Amino acid sequence: MGGATGEDLAGRTVVYGITGGIAAYKAPMVVRGLKALGVDVHTVMTEAATHFVTPLTLQTVSGRAVCTELFSGLSPDAHEVEHIALADRADLLLIAPATADFMAKMALGLADDLLSCVALATKAPILVCPSMNVNMYNHPATRKNIEVLKERGVHFLEPASGELACGWEGAGRLPEPPRIVAEAKRHLYQKDLAGISMVITCGPTAEDIDPVRFITNRSSGKMGAALVEAACVRGANVKVVSGPVATEYAPWAEVVMVRSAEAMLDAVTEGLKGTDVLIMAAAVADYTPASYRSSKIKKKDRLTAVELKSTADILSTIKPLKRDAFFVGFAAETENLSDSARQKLVSKGLDMIVANRVGEAGSGFASDTNSGLILVGPGVLDTFEHLEKEALAHKILDYIRERV
């Protein structure tokens, strides 16, 4: 049962166990999120879970019959033992929500229903997402059961804190379906980048003119965010240095938010210590106002020009700190893509450059896809046309992996 590389999770199987907690109402959205990744989902429900969400709903969204019974009766074409077949088929056993009761059963090794039998029989990684009343969660019995399961290598996604369905406040809320899906996704990937530390810069920078106005660019941070997520799910240790963006980064990365090109330079210089790979996906401002006005420039001032000065070039400044780290740059160009990129590759001492076309639909800033080419030397290593940024991120990481 090897892991997946690249972005392709098609053909991978998640056995999804739902137990009898109120948060089971989120389960259909978890299934939809997993299906959107191309994953085959086999749903198993405890008897208690069927009181909170119907098997019919889960069957419809998963596109498969839902398994609820350990003793499902005689079948004329039965040729396999269901709980063992499910256990063997799983690339991941996901249990969300996991009740206090079910975790207690797992900790004791009980096997008195279909899901507990699968949990005991599977050799696949198990990801448990507990959800319950805060006092049940903090009870020494529950804490002990979680500890025992963690010692056995079971993975946990901790519950969120806040107002709970039962009226109490505190830890016990099931994380939202996209967070559960992301965590499941991480467990489905082969960790081919484990042990590699990366600094990835993302987004634009903002250069302040006065307390109200600033100069920025159209970078959304999407390409950077795709790289961050892809690197994290493949096991890299990722530090993000990001300009102001609305985009969210993968929850496993350490994120340092900055504003200006100067602040980004400081954060990159600091982050570079002990880093194996630097990916400069940020669109750093080339110019910044020559001076900052600490009070708002008024309309009646009739401002006609803002004097600019060049920002420090981050790659050129940090070049002496490179050691044997692998440096990847990005170039956003409207024309002469390969010539401009080649020039930048050489002048900035980069090991690889990704040049993408901007100024056309479906490529560059804020788009979900990108077109352009990848250079590692004088020759073009690869070209890509309207490729999803997630797929491009994995492609770039594949090329980096071959070289570090």
Residue 88 Cβ, how far from ligand FMN at the closest point, in Å? 23
Distances (CA, A) of 230 to 41, 141, 199, 361: 22, 37, 13, 24
Cβ atoms of residues 370 and 387 within 8 Å: yes
The reply on whether position 149 binds ligand FMN by CB under 6 A is no
The reply on whether position 370 binds ligand FMN by CB under 6 A is no
Reduce the DSSP state of residue 249 to 3 states and report it.
coil
Q: Which stretch binds ligand FMN (CB under 6 A): 41-49, 229-237, 317-325, 381-389?
A: 41-49
Residue 136 Cβ, how far from ligand FMN at the closest point, in Å? 6
Residues 6+ apart with CB under 8 A from 210: 292, 293, 294, 295, 296, 297
Residue 317 Cβ, how far from ligand FMN at the closest point, in Å? 53
Residue 124 Cβ, how far from ligand FMN at the closest point, in Å? 20
Q: Which stretch binds ligand FMN (CB under 6 A): 99-107, 145-153, 318-326, 363-371?
A: 99-107
R_g of the chain computed on alpha carbons: 25
Residue 254 Cβ, how far from ligand FMN at the closest point, in Å? 32
Smaller CB distance to ligand FMN: residue 16 or 102?
Answer: 102
Smaller CB distance to ligand FMN: residue 102 or 384?
Answer: 102
Smaller CB distance to ligand FMN: residue 27 or 241?
Answer: 27
- Residue 238: closest CA among 192, 230, 284: 230
d(CA 128, CA 94): 6
The reply on whether position 132 binds ligand FMN by CB under 6 A is yes
The reply on whether position 102 binds ligand FMN by CB under 6 A is yes
The reply on whether position 100 binds ligand FMN by CB under 6 A is yes
The reply on whether position 49 binds ligand FMN by CB under 6 A is yes
Is residue 166 annotated as a catalytic residue, yes or no?
Answer: yes
CB atoms within 10 A of CB 361: 8
Backbone angles phi, psi at 83, to 5 degrees: -70, -30
Smaller CB distance to ligand FMN: residue 96 or 272?
Answer: 96
The reply on whether position 17 binds ligand FMN by CB under 6 A is no
Backbone angles phi, psi at 287, to 5 degrees: -130, 150
Reduce the DSSP state of residue 93 to 3 states and report it.
strand
Distances (CA, A) of 131 to 52, 68, 313: 14, 20, 49
d(CA 94, CA 238): 25
The reply on whether position 21 binds ligand FMN by CB under 6 A is yes
Residue 322 Cβ, how far from ligand FMN at the closest point, in Å? 52
Smaller CB distance to ligand FMN: residue 22 or 181?
Answer: 22
Residue 117 Cβ, how far from ligand FMN at the closest point, in Å? 12
The reply on whether position 43 binds ligand FMN by CB under 6 A is no
- β-strand 197-202 against 277-280: which pairing, if any? parallel
Structure tokens of 240? 């993000």
The reply on whether position 145 binds ligand FMN by CB under 6 A is no
Residues 6+ apart with CB under 8 A from 188: 3, 4, 9, 12, 14, 39, 91, 92
Residues 6+ apart with CB under 8 A from 168: 133, 134, 135
- Residue 386: closest CA among 373, 374, 369: 369
Cβ atoms of residues 55 and 67 within 8 Å: no
Q: Which stretch binds ligand FMN (CB under 6 A): 44-52, 192-200, 232-240, 288-296?
A: 44-52
Smaller CB distance to ligand FMN: residue 51 or 123?
Answer: 51
- β-strand 277-280 against 326-333: which pairing, if any? parallel
The reply on whether position 66 binds ligand FMN by CB under 6 A is no
The reply on whether position 356 binds ligand FMN by CB under 6 A is no
List 67, 166, 202, 232, catalytic entry: 166
Contact residue for ligand FMN among 62, 131, 219, 369 (CB under 6 A)? 131
d(CA 258, CA 293): 20
Smaller CB distance to ligand FMN: residue 44 or 392?
Answer: 44
Count H helices and E strands in the chain, helices first.
13, 19
- Give the total of residues touching ligand FMN (CB under 6 A): 15
Q: Which stretch binds ligand FMN (CB under 6 A): 13-21, 57-65, 146-154, 359-367?
A: 13-21
Q: Which residues bind ligand FMN (CB under 6 A)?
A: 19-23, 46, 48-49, 99-102, 131-132, 136
What positions carry a catalytic annotation?
166
